Structure formats: C-alpha cells, structure tokens
C-alpha cells in the first residue's frame, strides 16, 4: 500500500501533476510554519516542523524517481530498437553486396540514410 503513493497516473503529464502536488504539500507546510513562527517557537516545535517538511519533500523526490526510472526504461528501449534496426539493415546490406558483387554499394547507403532520416526523432 505504501508504494501506491508513488505510482504516477497514465502518461507523463499525470506523473508531473502528482509530483507537483507532492512539492505543493511541502510548500504548504513551509508556509504554515513561517506564518505561525511565534507559535512554533513558543511550543519548541522547530524539530517537528523540520521533520514534517523533510518527509513531504521525500515524497516528492520518490515520485520523481519513479517517473525518471520509467522514462529511462522507455528511452533505453527506444535506443535499443533503433540501433538494432540499424545493425540489421547494415548486416542485410552486406549480405546483398556479398551475394551480388555487381550490386551498387552507393544505393545501399542512400537507402540506409534515407530510412534513418525518416525514423530519427
């Protein structure tokens, strides 16, 4: 149940909203503490307010870590697929040249770079 607090909504915008909400809670704690500074000092509650603020910041940090973890997995998968397709394309082009020596090598590079221009972000 504790881990469900850090799960983001579907898509990056939901995760950003969740993370901003977590930091907004920390900001509200700081604003509340500064607004009632005399009461906090008279009750000797500085340490308690610091712990409460740090706990709220930690929630925001953990939500951000979940977001960046999934972003890293997605970006890594994107690069693996892209580079694997490049490797297969070059391998198949080398096979074509070996099978048919009269095959134009320049057209291989033309097709390859035209294809990479289409799939590059």
* Structural contact between residues 105 and 97, judged by C-beta atoms closer than 8 angstroms: yes
The confidence score (pLDDT) of residue 76 equals: 95
Supply the CATH number for residue 26's domain.
1.20.1560.10
Q: What percent of the chain has pLDDT over 90?
A: 7
Residue 10 pLDDT greater than 60, yes or no:
no
User: Which range marks the domain in which residue 45 is found?
Assistant: 3-119
Q: Which residues contact 23 (CB under 8 A, 6 or more apart)?
A: 57, 60
d(CA 66, CA 69) in angstroms, rounded, equals 5
d(CA 24, CA 27) in angstroms, rounded, equals 5
Instruction: Give the DSSP letter of residue 101.
Output: T
d(CA 98, CA 62) in angstroms, rounded, equals 54
Question: Helix %, strand %, coil % for the chain, to 5?
Answer: 85, 0, 15
Q: pLDDT tens, 34-54?
A: 888 887 777 888 888 889 888
Q: How far is CA 3 from CA 6, 59, 62, 67, 84, in A?
A: 6, 11, 10, 13, 34
Q: pLDDT tens, 61-83?
A: 888 888 889 899 999 998 998 88
- The tally of domains found in the chain comes to 1
The pTM (predicted TM-score) of the whole model is: 0.60
């Amino acid at each position: 149940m504790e881990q469900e607090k850090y799960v983001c909504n579907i898509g990056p915008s939901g995760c950003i909203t969740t993370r901003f909400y977590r930091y907004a809670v920390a900001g509200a704690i700081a604003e509340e503490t500064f607004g009632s500074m005399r009461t906090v000092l008279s009750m000797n509650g500085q340490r308690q307010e610091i712990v409460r603020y740090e706990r709220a910041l930690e929630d925001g940090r953990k939500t951000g870590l979940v977001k960046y973890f999934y972003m890293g997995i997605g970006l890594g998968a994107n690069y693996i697929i892209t580079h694997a397709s490049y490797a297969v394309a070059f391998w198949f082009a080398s096979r074509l040249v070996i099978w048919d020596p009269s095959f134009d090598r320049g057209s291989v590079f033309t097709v390859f770079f035209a294809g990479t221009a289409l799939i590059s972000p």
